[in-house]
């Protein structure tokens, strides 16, 4: 039986623990909070002196990812998955470590995006429009949103980082970014100081025009993509799980809520993260986040 460690026990950490145990792993938890039936360690180093897990999931606050990962890889853990985004911002980090590090952008395993990836592979993509929005107070119903890291920019909260799945899969589907301009900030009456909305206009390697809007404000909750190629128009609704092409009848998918997370863990454990977002790709997403924030502040275009 493989041994895993999940660092952080918020809502996403708890999900990782549950799924990994369902998959048959022996799972330990390291957290500041006291957890019944879990031994309390004062430091992460003290945990590694007793137990050497084969798989580590870093799911604490974004602002702590950098220091946590440095500690984890110093113990040569074979497989490490860091929750998105990789770090708070772009930093210098040696990539010559022995650990296999990937970033938890699990939407790469969504069947609609996988179908889109294979469908448009040989087509010329002309334009892409992406929208993602969810009302923050309804996001995690088990807790008061005013107590979550999402409202605090210093902890790595904000729509731009929380919803950076879109930045990752856009790069995965259409190649690296070449230029962007953005507007964003905290506009609503929601608590906290983190950005609650960002609009980004991008030029990607395989697509000259991409429009992306992400927000904490949509009370309906939507995640949609419209793609125009030189041959077809595609519409994906990741909430309703619908894939449509031109005027043809739509294809409906049935996806259990945790399946993309399971697929991601299986890929890490059985395939060395071959289909996951790599460490270097995670750094590129951070460069996009930094550029979007800089562009919003300076009100100008930035090139990669």
Q: Where are the domains of the chain?
A: 3-104, 110-255+278-303
C-alpha distances out from residue 10 to 6, 69, 124, Å: 11, 18, 42
Matching CATH number, 3-104, of 3.40.50.720, 3.30.70.360, 2.170.120.40, 3.40.50.150: 3.40.50.720
What token pair was written down for 256? 């259990």
Separation of alpha carbons 199 and 208, rounded Å: 17
pLDDT of residue 51: 95
What token pair was written down for 261? 């997370």
What secondary structure does DSSP assign to 246-288, as a single string?
TTSPPEE----TTHHHHHHHHHHHHHTTTTSEEHHHHHHHHHH
Half-sphere exposure of 113 (CA within 13 A, CB side): 23
3-state secondary structure (DSSP) of residue 72: helix
pLDDT of residue 142: 83
What token pair was written down for 226? 């419209």
Q: Which residues pair with 207 in a beta bridge?
A: 204
pLDDT of residue 33: 83
pLDDT of residue 91: 84
Counting as low any pLDDT under 50, the low residues of the chain are: none
Domain 110-255+278-303, CATH homologous superfamily name and number: Dihydrodipicolinate Reductase; domain 2 (3.30.360.10)
pLDDT of residue 237: 98
Separation of alpha carbons 65 and 62, rounded Å: 5
pLDDT of residue 92: 79
């Amino acid at each position: 039986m493989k041994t895993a460690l999940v660092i952080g026990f918020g809502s996403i950490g708890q999900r990782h623990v549950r799924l990994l145990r369902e998959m048959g792993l022996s799972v330990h938890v390291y957290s500041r909070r006291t957890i019944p039936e879990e031994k309390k360690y004062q430091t992460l180093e003290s945990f590694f002196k007793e137990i050497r897990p084969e798989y580590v999931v870093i799911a604490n606050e974004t602002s702590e990812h950098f220091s946590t990962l440095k500690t984890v890889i110093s113990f040569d853990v074979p497989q490490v998955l860091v929750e998105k985004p990789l770090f708070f911002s772009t930093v210098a980090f040696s990539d010559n470590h022995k650990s296999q590090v990937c970033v938890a952008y699990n939407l790469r395993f969504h069947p609609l995006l996988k179908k889109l990836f294979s469908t448009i592979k040989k087509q010329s993509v002309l334009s892409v429009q992406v929208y993602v929005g969810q009302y923050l107070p309804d996001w995690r119903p088990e807790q008061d949103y005013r107590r979550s890291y999402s409202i605090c920019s210093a902890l790595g909260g904000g729509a731009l980082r929380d919803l950076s799945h879109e930045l990752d899969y856009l790069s995965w589907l259409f190649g690296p970014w070449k230029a962007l301009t953005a507007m964003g900030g905290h506009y609503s009456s929601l608590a906290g100081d983190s950005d609650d909305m960002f609009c980004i206009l991008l030029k990607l390697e395989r697509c000259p025009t991409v429009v992306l809007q992400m927000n904490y404000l949509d009370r309906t909750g939507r995640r949609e993509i419209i793609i125009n190629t030189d041959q077809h128009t595609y519409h994906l609704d990741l909430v309703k799980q619908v894939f449509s092409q031109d005027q043809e009848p739509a294809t409906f998918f049935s996806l259990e809520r945790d399946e993309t997370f399971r697929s991601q863990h299986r890929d890490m454990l059985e395939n060395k993260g071959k289909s996951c977002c790599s460490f270097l790709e995670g750094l590129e997403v951070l460069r996009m986040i930094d550029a979007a924030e800089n562009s919003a502040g300076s009100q100008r275009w930035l090139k990669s």
